[in-house]
A and B are shown apart, each in its own frame.
Chain A
Amino acid sequence: MNPGSVPAILATLLAGALTALQIATGAALLAFALGLLLAVVNVFVRAPLARATHLVIGAYVEWMRNVPALAHLFILYFGLASVGWQLSPKVAAITGLGLVGAAVLCDVFSAAMRALPAGQREAALACGLTPLQALQTVVLPQVLQFTLPALGNYATQLIKDTAIASAIAAPEIMFYARSLVTSTFQTPLIYGCAILLYASVIYPVNWAFARLERRLGAGR
């Protein structure tokens, strides 16, 4: 083991950090948008349609949440390629992690919307706001504030989960770590550096969410 090679190792791993960041950002955006949409449909669609939407969204969420993310990535990357739909590793990782995240966030947002007193929305409608305006200006801001801790947990989990993308050869941190290991054999040092790199991203993210929570008085 040669501690002098730490800077070189970190420089290589940092090249992968950019891809990891792209995957995390893309997946987070997809998860947030789709999760919010599913939650709104899940909570606000009424009687005749509600049965169908509950069933479809419920099935989607349960499938996504009770199957390992690795299986989803393999289905998207190897599975789709075998039927003639070749995704790049990065796109497959973003899609896979994003779809899983959408299921997680759908649950989070649904729970928060149900927990919000019905009077909030009713009062907004009684004031003459359209349903969409009521959602935008009254319901969603409170829901976001209420769910901040859960969103923080999700963000942390997502950053960690980007490591799985190395299993489908997306060139992120663990991918570079593994290829470094096969060329230099400084195994403990390289994986140690990778672990520290992840921790050095996740600690500030945790701290930022905790601070945001305190400022907005989330949960109350």
Chain B
Amino acid sequence: MNHFLQVVAEYLPQWGPRLVEAAWVTAGLSLAGFLLALVLGALLVALQRSHLAPLRHAARGFIQFMRAVPLLALLLALYFGLPSLGLTLSGYGAGILGLGVQGSAYVAEVLRGGLDAVHRGQRESALAAGLTPRQVFMHIVLPQALRVMLPPLVNCYVSLLKDSSLCALIATNELMLTARAIASEDFLPLHIFVLVGLFYFAIAFPLSMLSRLLGMRLARGRRSMGGSPGPSRLGAFPRLRWRRLRAARLPVTERL
């Protein structure tokens, strides 16, 4: 163990800058992918709430299909397959597209769940009070739904971030590919892969904690169910208690 740390410390000046640079690529890749997933996911939800049955079925089918396809197969198909159909993407572009398209299926489920969680009475009374449907959505439904959506959306981003490591296999210079390159130069695969794991951990773990913290905040505001959800104070966080955070996972009964 001590020897392990010594070796890592010895090579860190060499590896550090390269890994940090690659971490920015990973961040850009995953954020762009997530942005695309949000846009496509919102579109899918809109389609699912359409009045036209074929559109609803198409959106539903797309979501189910995307959840049944391994990301790696999708990425390889986009990166190696599309050129022979006349569309050439860089590894980075194919990565964003693949992550975004598959992520949109998961994001859509989260967005739909959030909208469904708003009690229908909220919408009905707002309409009865004379608000236009657009106003109802923007001022009544969406703010309440956002509270429900936020924690699982952060989780979506975390899994997208982890999935972005697969872009190493389509020649994108992100963390994992850089780690592989370093491993083949210095012949220290154990050290470099554990180190790169720590890089991912350093981004993903705080976000996972944030997601749970948001979830606990939400659960507290929700205690007064039935009546008004109470004043929204997302800014006021409960004190961070490790044990309670560990226990505060998202509900397990929901089928994703």
Within 8 A of A (CB), among B208-256: 208, 242-243, 246-247, 249, 251-256
Complex CA–CA separation, A29 to B176 (angstroms): 28
**Is the CB of A153 closer than 8 A to any CB of chain B?**
yes
Chain B residues near A213 (CB-CB < 8 A): 255
8 Å CB contact of A111 from B71, B188, B190, B252: B252
Give 1 or 0 for each of A71-110: 1 = CB within 8 Å of chain B CB. 1101100111111000000000000000000000001101
Chain B residues near A82 (CB-CB < 8 A): 187-190
Complex CA–CA separation, A74 to B196 (angstroms): 11
Complex CA–CA separation, A155 to B190 (angstroms): 29
B194 touches A198 (CB 8 A): no
8 Å CB contact of B84 from A160, A188, A203: A188
A66 touches B208 (CB 8 A): yes
A70 touches B205 (CB 8 A): no
Chain B residues near A63 (CB-CB < 8 A): 197, 201
**Is the CB of B138 closer than 8 A to any CB of chain A?**
no
Chain B residues near A26 (CB-CB < 8 A): none
B160–chain A nearest beta-carbon distance, Å? 11
Residues of chain B at interface, number, CB under 8 A: 53
A68 touches B163 (CB 8 A): yes
Q: Which of A3-11, A133-141, A189-197 contacts B (4 or more CB under 8 A)?
A: A189-197
**Is the CB of A211 closer than 8 A to any CB of chain B?**
no
**Is the CB of B62 closer than 8 A to any CB of chain A?**
no
A74–chain B nearest beta-carbon distance, Å? 5
Complex CA–CA separation, A68 to B193 (angstroms): 11
A209–chain B nearest beta-carbon distance, Å? 8
**Other contacts beyond A75-B189, A78-B193, A188-B81: 12, CB < 8 A:** A1-B84, A65-B208, A66-B205, A68-B163, A74-B193, A75-B193, A112-B252, A166-B72, A167-B72, A177-B76, A187-B81, A198-B69
Residues of A within 8 A of B (CB): 1, 54, 58, 62-63, 65-72, 74-75, 78-83, 107-108, 110-112, 114, 146-147, 149-150, 152-153, 156, 160-164, 166-167, 174, 177-178, 181, 185, 187-188, 191-192, 194-195, 198-199, 202-203, 206, 210, 213, 218-219
27 contacts between A and B (CB under 8 A): A1-B84, A66-B162, A68-B162, A68-B166, A70-B168, A70-B176, A71-B179, A72-B197, A74-B179, A74-B189, A75-B197, A78-B189, A78-B193, A81-B189, A82-B189, A147-B253, A160-B68, A163-B71, A177-B73, A188-B85, A192-B81, A195-B69, A195-B70, A195-B73, A198-B68, A198-B73, A213-B255
Q: Which 8 A-B pairs have the closest CB atoms?
A: A79-B190, A163-B70, A191-B77, A78-B189, A68-B165, A66-B204, A188-B81, A202-B68
